[in-house]
Amino acid sequence: MKIRDVISKIEKRIPLQQAEDFDNVGLLCGSYDRNVSGILVCHDALENVVDEAILKNCNLIVCFHPIIFSGLKSLTGKNYVEKAVIKAIENKVAIYAIHTAFDNDFFGVNAGICQQLGLKNLKVLQPKKNNLKQLTVFVPKEYSGQLKESLFAAGAGNIGFYDECSFTINGSGTFRPKEGSDPFSGQQDIRENADEDMVSVIFEGYKQGQIVAAMKSAHPYEEVAHQIYSLDNTNQYTGLGMYGDFEVPMDEKDFLKFVKEKFNLEVIRHSDFNGKKIKRVGVLGGSGASGIKSAISKKCDAYLTGDVKYHDFFLAESKMMICDIGHFESEQFVTQQLFEILSQKFSTFAISKSIEKTNPVNYFI
């Protein structure tokens, strides 16, 4: 199996189009056409991880954080990024990063945190906006079923935990073929009345090209009458962060002890105690101070994330306890999650989890 085949299967499960615009996801170095000898899954593709991949005969590293985030103007080994990339290229090891594509996935980074905490009734904290579109297309009634099957196969009509969603209205359409046309039915210069269905489906914007192509290939008309609308609806199943509820509320100190145990933490930085029971918890793996206001608006009693600055803690304003558990610590389950996903999809070559330490933050207790 070639690297491009592996990537194709990964991206059917975790589409890169889910990633944030600022991110640098996908194949960062290496050839799509090289055969895969093994896959090493890691958090950060540092030089010591590349060494591990070489030792384990893995020529594809699937990492969470992109080792190349901003542009490289030279490759001389002057810093940790260039050292890792040079070693990977010299040893024909490809590096593929998933990052915010997995952050925004409903079953991704934040679902892993919620699962570890045992939260129920999970919802996305910051749902994607301007993400959904609607296609309306007019088709002869006898071709309506065929058209819908083609649209569904292309990914249209997927809404949360449902797929093959559509709406159909029957009616009468008119058209008049002009000179140069090759009509499916009717004659030139004579108005035709047709028994047609109006079929509507919703889809994520990044699928538009493949869905329009599927529509045209399954449609009998020379000119396909259709409209595509951008929707104001938020996508409730894609976005950053999650929140959920404990079945039994906890005291604040008991909650912090519980989090320390579940995440194997040395320390938790947190805002003032409010004397409230902790029932609803919001989470956002990595640098998540941007989600504080969203967590408050969702009436969360506590919010777990990393990289919270001094002034960010003031935003709690006695409404919610903000907990900084550390950037790496909040994402620590990602490697296992990716390992499980890849293990389910590939069985013909070795898949390993990196054992190398890549967290740059240390604590003196």
Residue whose pair of structure tokens reads 């009634």 in the numeric block: 141
Report d(CA 268, CA 147) in Å as an integer. 55
Q: Return the pLDDT at 70.
A: 87
Please determine, for residue 198, whether its predicted confidence score (pLDDT) is greater than 90.
yes
Token digits of residue 165: 């969603």
Residue 358 within any structural domain of the chain: no
Residue 360 within any structural domain of the chain: no
Confidence class of residue 184 from pLDDT cuts 50, 70 and 90?
confident
Residue 304 within any structural domain of the chain: yes
pLDDT in tens, 84-103: 999 999 999 999 999 999 99
Residue 359 within any structural domain of the chain: no
Report d(CA 207, CA 56) in Å as an integer. 37
Q: Are residues 286 and 163 in the same domain?
A: no
| H or E element in which residue 230 lies | strand 226-230
Q: Return the pLDDT at 240.
A: 98
Residues 6+ apart with CB under 8 A from 298: 123, 125, 243, 280, 282
Q: Are residues 8 and 83 in the same domain?
A: yes
- Among 67, 18, 7, which residue's Cα sits nearest to residue 205? 18
Return the percentage of the chain with pLDDT > 90, whole number. 92
Where residue 52 sits, what CATH number does that domain have? Answer: 3.40.1390.30
Q: Are residues 297 and 266 in the same domain?
A: yes
Q: Return the pLDDT at 349.
A: 82
Mean pLDDT of the chain: 96
Q: Return the pLDDT at 351.
A: 95
Phi then psi dihedrals of residue 217, to 5 deg: -70, -25
**Which of residues 206, 231, 256 is at a domain's end?**
231
Q: Contact at 8 Å (CB) between 321 and 277?
A: no
Helix (H, G, I), strand (E, B) or coil at 266: coil
Where residue 159 sits, what CATH number does that domain have? Answer: 3.30.70.120
Q: Are residues 283 and 155 in the same domain?
A: no
Q: Return the pLDDT at 188.
A: 87
Q: Are residues 65 and 207 in the same domain?
A: no
Annotated binding-site residues for a divalent metal cation read 65, 103, 327, 331
Please determine, for residue 207, whether its predicted confidence score (pLDDT) is greater than 90.
yes
Residue 20 within any structural domain of the chain: yes
Number of domains in the chain: 3
Residue 269 within any structural domain of the chain: yes
Range of the domain at 296: 105-126+240-324
Please determine, for residue 183, whether its predicted confidence score (pLDDT) is greater than 90.
no
Q: Return the pLDDT at 365.
A: 81
Using a 10 angstrom Cβ sphere, with 0-12 exposed, 13-18 middle and 19 or more buried, the burial of residue 199 is buried
Q: Are residues 187 and 267 in the same domain?
A: no
Annotated binding-site residues read 65, 103, 327, 331
Token digits of residue 261: 């145990």
| H or E element in which residue 173 lies | strand 167-175
Residue 164 within any structural domain of the chain: yes
- Among 176, 172, 171, which residue's Cα sits nearest to residue 191? 176
- Among 332, 306, 321, which residue's Cα sits nearest to residue 250? 321
Please determine, for residue 191, whether its predicted confidence score (pLDDT) is greater than 90.
yes
Q: Are residues 110 and 177 in the same domain?
A: no
Q: Are residues 197 and 161 in the same domain?
A: yes
Residues 6+ apart with CB under 8 A from 292: 303, 312, 315, 316, 320, 322
Helix (H, G, I), strand (E, B) or coil at 92: coil
Confidence class of residue 231 from pLDDT cuts 50, 70 and 90?
very high
Report d(CA 99, CA 119) in Å as an integer. 23
pLDDT in tens, 104-124: 999 999 999 999 999 999 999
Question: How many C-beta atoms lie closer than 10 Å to residue 357's C-beta?
Answer: 13
Please determine, for residue 187, whether its predicted confidence score (pLDDT) is greater than 90.
no
Residue 197 within any structural domain of the chain: yes
Q: Return the pLDDT at 40.
A: 98
Predicted TM-score (pTM) of this structure: 0.92
Q: Are residues 144 and 117 in the same domain?
A: no
* Separation in Å, CA 84 to CA 24, 35, 95, 132, 234: 16, 21, 10, 38, 39
Q: Are residues 317 and 277 in the same domain?
A: yes
**Which of residues 231, 248, 265 is at a domain's end?**
231
Q: Are residues 54 and 91 in the same domain?
A: yes
Q: Return the pLDDT at 347.
A: 82
pLDDT in tens, 8-56: 999 999 999 999 999 999 999 999 999 999 999 999 999 999 999 999 9
Q: What is the mean pLDDT of residues 194-209?
A: 96
Q: Are residues 7 and 91 in the same domain?
A: yes
Q: What is the mean pLDDT of residues 60-78?
A: 95
